Amino acid sequence: MKGVPARVVLVLLVTLLPAACGTIDNIKDKQLGNDLQAVLSRYESAVRWGNPQNAYGFLKPELAEQTPLPQGLENIEVSQYVVVSPPVLLSKTTATQTVGISYILVNRQVEHSLVDQQMWERKDEDSRDWYRANPIPEFK
């Protein structure tokens, strides 16, 4: 397996598989699951096919205010974005997802990998908007 090391993927799969019981496919409120899946899909597209700086537009407003945009993101090209653990609903307003990301430092043509443990939140149970509630991992 190229990109994310096979051992990392295997360990994550084994440790996170029991959590799959609460995946969005199994929840009763289909609209809630659809809204979450839509934002996760937009986020993946922004990171994978756009530029990693696009991920910062998905941050929860309070977190975005205190998170400066890192320098050097224009030197990053994402080569792989793999959902390692599908979205799991922890509550009606909180969800998690684990993703493996491989990226290339364009100026040096070096590939790196990271595991992105994502936390997603809604403002309240009536909101349909999901925001990333934890920091974006560093691409270095």
**How high is the pLDDT of residue 54?**
95
Question: Can you give the three-state secondary structure of 96-121, one letter per residue?
Answer: EEEEEEEEEECCCCEEEEEEEEEEEE
Topology, domain 6-132: Nuclear Transport Factor 2; Chain: A, (3.10.450)
Span 54-66, mean pLDDT?
97
Task: Please tell me the distance from the alpha carbon of residue 84 to that of residue 87, in angstroms, as a whole number.
Answer: 10
Task: Please tell me the distance from the alpha carbon of residue 81 to that of residue 23, in angstroms, as a whole number.
Answer: 19
pTM score above 0.85: no
Task: Please tell me the distance from the alpha carbon of residue 102 to that of residue 97, in angstroms, as a whole number.
Answer: 16
How many alpha carbons lie under 13 Å from residue 125 in its C-beta half-sphere? Answer: 4
Q: Where along the chain do its domains lie?
A: 6-132
Q: Which two tokens stand for residue 82?
A: 């793999």
**How high is the pLDDT of residue 14?**
44
- Tens digits of residue pLDDT in 71-125: 999 999 999 999 999 999 999 999 999 999 999 999 999 999 999 999 999 999 8
Under DSSP, is residue 54 helix (H, G, I), strand (E, B) or coil?
helix
